[in-house]
């Protein structure tokens, strides 16, 4: 079994491209990809700045093409039903417009997508869990996101023994690097980076009114960071009012009903949105209506994928709109501050990768070894039966047991060194030797 990783992340993609690639329903995508003829196991990690597919397959090149075909079909289907477009009330996209968007998407696919195979794909996963592939290097949130992605795949039955080993190792590495290095010491998250960006724009957040929309994991990170500043007030809105109320209570803020957004926007200097809404919740019309009597600067930072704020909001006077792309400068400063720790993390990953490869190759050849022992046992039983029949009825049960034990010991002593050599060849990456063993013993 081998691994292929297909991903679109902040490294090459802007927020608009990430929106196109993001799965509206990760559970459905997991099941669909797992059902592809070439894919044996599958995990999808999707966050605000990455969409990553990890697939286990016997033929990773075939798996790659099957998955990319699926991605194209999925996006084109959403284009056709207008789920990727906010304009027009038409039920379907005109053919010429659809063709235009398909061509644009294909170009984005080529430019933004990264693909890695085998040990490169595995190393990327360990780096991801360790936090050094994150936009904000050292963030702790990604480790929980990898764990959640694995647990979801496990619950849906899209992982087996191979990825159980792989993701258990990745989660272990993520914990070890955070214990043995300072990669996450004082680490910021996407949420706190958003607050840092707001502080840069205003100069200071002291005396400002901040509105947080979304009380999920990202919202909590934003709220905790906002609470460290001397705000005039912190307003928290969420579709489930009880969640907003709980978060506001923890941090000394004030919960507001989702229906009261317009009034809260009118009072706010800063808005940070982090919901999981499939479409924009803040429109130009909403801002214009809410801010008609307020001419002060309004800063909006949208850290959601898909975006919570319509692009045309940026055209309004007195409004500065940022999204995930606007956090890149903050991210780069954070990376430079952690360069020495990244080296230490890489050393840990190198050691753990060597152990993982040994474990995985053992899994790869255990089927060959089982077939070897199974065939040897068949031969032993067949020849033992012949010998006992030739010796006739004069043998007692004790003699039969002795002969049975003798043949078993002889077969085991002959096959065990062969099995050990197959395992060693696998651990050393000697694929030619493994292929020969598979040809001789698999299904023999």
- Report the predicted TM-score, pTM, of the whole model to 2 decimal places: 0.75
Q: Which of 111, 125, 106, 105 is nearest to 4 (CA)?
A: 125
| Domains along the sequence of the chain with CATH | 2-186 (3.30.460.30), 190-335 (3.40.50.720), 367-441 (no CATH)
CA 322/CA 328 separation, integer angstroms: 11
Q: How far apart are CA 179 and CA 131, in angstroms?
A: 13
Per-residue pLDDT of the chain (444 residues; tens, 9 = 90+): 889 999 999 888 888 888 888 898 999 999 999 999 999 999 999 988 899 999 999 889 999 999 998 988 887 777 665 555 444 444 555 667 667 777 777 777 778 889 999 889 999 999 999 988 988 888 888 999 999 999 999 999 999 989 999 999 999 999 999 999 988 886 577 887 888 888 888 888 888 998 988 888 888 888 888 888 888 888 888 888 888 888 888 888 888 888 888 899 998 899 988 888 888 889 999 998 988 888 889 999 998 888 889 888 989 998 999 888 878 777 788 788 788 888 999 999 999 988 888 777 777 777 888 888 888 888 899 988 888 888 887 788 888 888 888 988 898 888 888 888 887 887 666 777 878 888 887 754
Neighbours of 374 (CB within 10 A): 12
CA dihedral 161, 162, 164, 168 (to 10 degrees): 140
Sign of CA dihedral 363, 368, 369, 373: positive
- The candidate with the shortest Cα–Cα distance to 211, out of 189, 231, 240, is 231
Q: Which residues are catalytic?
A: 48
Q: In whole angstroms, what is the distance from residue 437 CA to residue 425 CA?
A: 10
């Amino acid at each position: 079994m081998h691994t292929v990783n297909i991903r679109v992340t902040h490294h090459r993609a802007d927020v608009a491209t990430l929106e196109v690639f993001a799965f509206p329903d990760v559970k459905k995508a997991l099941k669909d990809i797992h059902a592809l003829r070439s894919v044996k196991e599958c995990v999808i990690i999707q966050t605000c700045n990455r969409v990553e597919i990890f697939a286990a397959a016997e033929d990773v090149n075939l798996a790659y093409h099957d998955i990319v075909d699926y991605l194209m079909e999925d996006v084109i289907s959403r284009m056709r039903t207008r789920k990727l477009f906010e304009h027009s009330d038409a039920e379907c996209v005109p053919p010429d417009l659809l063709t235009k968007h398909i061509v644009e998407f294909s170009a984005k696919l080529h430019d933004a997508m990264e693909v890695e195979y085998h040990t490169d794909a595995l190393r990327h996963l360990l780096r991801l869990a360790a936090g050094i592939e994150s936009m904000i290097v050292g963030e702790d949130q990604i480790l929980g996101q990898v764990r959640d992605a694995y647990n979801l795949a496990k619950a849906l039955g899209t992982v087996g023994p191979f990825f159980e080993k792989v993701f258990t190792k990745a989660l272990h590495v993520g914990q070890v690097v955070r214990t043995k290095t300072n990669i996450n010491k004082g680490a910021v998250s996407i949420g706190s980076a958003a607050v840092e960006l707001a502080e840069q724009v205003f100069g200071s957040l002291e005396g400002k009114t901040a509105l947080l929309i979304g009380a999920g994991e990202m919202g909590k990170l934003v709220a905790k960071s906002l609470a460290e500043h001397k705000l005039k007030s912190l307003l928290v809105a969420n579709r489930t009012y009880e969640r907003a109320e709980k978060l506001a209570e923890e941090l000394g803020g004030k919960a507001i009903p989702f229906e009261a957004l317009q009034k809260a926007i009118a009072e706010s200097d800063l808005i940070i949105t982090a919901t999981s809404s499939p479409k924009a919740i803040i429109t130009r019309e909403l801002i214009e209506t809410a801010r008609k009597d307020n001419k002060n600067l309004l800063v909006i930072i949208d850290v959601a994928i898909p975006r919570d704020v319509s692009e045309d909001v940026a055209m309004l006077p007195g409004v500065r709109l940022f999204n995930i792309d606007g956090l890149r400068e903050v991210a780069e400063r954070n990376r430079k501050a952690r360069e020495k720790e990244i080296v230490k993390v890489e050393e840990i990953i190198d050691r753990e990768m060597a152990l993982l490869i040994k474990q995985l190759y053992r899994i790869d050849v255990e089927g060959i070894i089982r077939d070897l022992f199974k065939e040897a046992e068949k031969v032993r039983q067949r020849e033992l039966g012949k010998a006992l029949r030739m010796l006739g009825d004069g043998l007692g049960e004790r003699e039969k047991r002795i002969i049975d034990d003798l043949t078993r010991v002889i077969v085991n002593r002959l096959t065990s060194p062969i099995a050990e050599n197959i395992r060693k060849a696998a651990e050393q990456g000697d694929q030619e030797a493994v292929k020969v063993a598979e040809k001789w013993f698999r299904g023999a």
